[in-house]
Structure 1
């Protein structure tokens, strides 16, 4: 805490790891940062609570008369309702991380709750200007005091050893013996309409096209939950073998943080068909790893973009980035 500034009380409402995702990692790092500054921080993860436990947790927030700043990082309607009816004045900040959540048919009541949060919040933060335009296009009134701010907070380097220890010996060997090294990730293999959301299929095709020029290329594709659409993943594994890139493609599954890999990787890929901010891109750039992403939303400064689902544009930008940079390490041929 800065000398002379009194400690404040913060209540963060949002997901926390596991699972590891952009929002949960942000909430975790923010709570650690605020505590390190000497503030009092409480974290409520509404997705981890059910029934009576959830109601009691939210009721304690609503009827606590102490002054506090509440930050809402969850698109959770019980939490939104609690914020609307709170009888004691607490500063409310709503931070919108991803418009994709709203794109479902929410119904009139949930639409009303969200509109009230946008209207009643003392501070509204979006991760991109595109999100503001999207909501205004849906008829929501966005207050003039809205901010656009990056949700990226740098990781704590002291955690690196603990995270690397969660990687298998196979993963470590793959990373050490391939160059250039590419990284991509997905919370799970999901579909946006009929299109794969995180672009695993595009990464497979990209590695197959790059291998003639980069025979020791390696792709680490991290999937936090590989039990979802497991049959599709097996189909992709067979496709990898048919393409002759089984020695160049490695799946890293399970709940793990990836940022230590960016310290040795050459290119981070995010060929998503819909997306939020993409914190992994900002992490990669902060560790001098090039980043290439689809143009479906605003991206962190320094990211190269290509037209979403355009395989040729994806390949051309990837080749240009790899050839314009000094690769981080060499490997035995």
Structure 2
């Protein structure tokens, strides 16, 4: 059957904030529309109405959940397929699971597009409550071999459909490595300021790098509850004057930030297939990253990036200095990284995703005429 023209209910978060899954949801909805699909976008993080509800932590979920469920129910009556962007924790229970059950009640197939580096821990803790809804999915797609292994361990087959990188936005430019080390290298971290991303380790590593490169600079691009603590840490380490907390950075400015960077640090404690790492590689920025979760499935140590243990600022600083002090090696890793991300361009991901759509749409009795 011809897939384009079908009506898809895409369930997921949207920016702001510009997190990995929110950006992927928005990008996928735009790409599907360009392919000729009719996309009904069901946003799980719509702004609270009225706005003051956001301050009522005990009850605000109800104000978001009730209209969300109503939107799901209405959408399931006019689409042929639900594609659910799913994550671990309460996000699963509040948003993914209800979408699955409503799809089943209304007789449409459902794809669970599972993401999140904490999946293994979440399943160890909550799988008895996750299994009933997950088992109703007609297909489970994941972006990495790491998550494929997590699901296989629990008896659920998946199909790997990688994350999508917009190579028209994130492009490599000429870098200075062939000219020798810079006196004032610019390091960046593009993760939110949350404990799971361990920006503190990046700050501590940066303070070590500053001994060798006193004019080095660090930009932390993201928002989150740890900002105050991180600012105090930067001051305590004596590097506050060299650290910029840029706050939230939209997609357009993010591309410019990568172009200004000499190295990208990813200090996270748990990860799946971090978009930020792919964006850095596509932008021609060498990456030093922790070797957690799905990251070793994404990059190859000493070929496309340098991997270090988590919570180890000394190891991270050593890797940074290795690249800064050896521009030839840095250039080799940079070029290999650029080559490695071409597989994540939409033309390459498209065939995998549309194959899943085609298989499920062939099974549904609801035609395009039924949902006009």
Q: Which has the higher helix share?
A: 2
Q: Tell me the alpha carbon deviations over residues 248-296 of structure 1, each in whole angstroms, 9 at most, x when there is no partner.
A: 2211113533232112211111111222321100000001111111011
Corresponding residue of 1:58: 72
Pick from 253, 262, 271: which aligns with 1:266?
262
**Secondary structure of the structure 1 residue equivalent to 2:190:** strand
Determine whether 1:141 maps to 2:155: yes
Corresponding residue of 1:219: 218
Cα distance change, pair 9–277 in 1 and its aligned pair in 2 (3 A):
same
Q: Tell me the alpha carbon deviations over residues 124-165 of structure 1, each in whole angstroms, 9 at most, x when there is no partner.
A: 12233333434455xx3212xx1233213216539xxxxxxx
TM-score by length of 1: 0.75
Corresponding residue of 1:318: 320
Corresponding residue of 1:38: 36
Corresponding residue of 2:236: 239
Pick from 179, 184, 208: which aligns with 1:179?
184
Unaligned 5+ runs, structure 1: 159-176, 191-196, 329-333
Cα distance change, pair 155–29 in 1 and its aligned pair in 2 (3 A):
farther
Contact 1:94 1:117 (8 Å CA) reproduced = no
Corresponding residue of 1:206: 205
Contact 1:72 1:92 (8 Å CA) reproduced = no
Unaligned 5+ runs, structure 2: 47-62, 171-181, 332-372
Corresponding residue of 2:115: 97
- Which has the higher mean CA deviation after the structures are superposed, 25-34 or 52-61? 52-61
Corresponding residue of 1:283: 279
Q: Which has the higher strand share?
A: 1
Contact 1:19 1:255 (8 Å CA) reproduced = no
Cα distance change, pair 73–178 in 1 and its aligned pair in 2 (3 A):
farther
CA distance in 2, matches of 1:105, 1:199: 23
Q: Tell me the alpha carbon deviations over residues 85-111 of structure 1, each in whole angstroms, 9 at most, x when there is no partner.
A: 523443321112114267359987xx4
- Which has the higher mean CA deviation after the structures are superposed, 18-27 or 82-91? 82-91
Contact 2:69 2:98 (8 Å CA) reproduced = no
Cα distance change, pair 324–90 in 1 and its aligned pair in 2 (3 A):
farther
**Secondary structure of the structure 1 residue equivalent to 2:15:** coil
Cα distance change, pair 270–230 in 1 and its aligned pair in 2 (3 A):
closer
CA distance in 1, matches of 2:144, 2:258: 24
**Secondary structure of the structure 1 residue equivalent to 2:14:** coil
**Secondary structure of the structure 2 residue equivalent to 1:235:** helix
Cα distance change, pair 320–148 in 1 and its aligned pair in 2 (3 A):
farther
Give 1:117 shift: 4.0
Cα distance change, pair 231–5 in 1 and its aligned pair in 2 (3 A):
closer
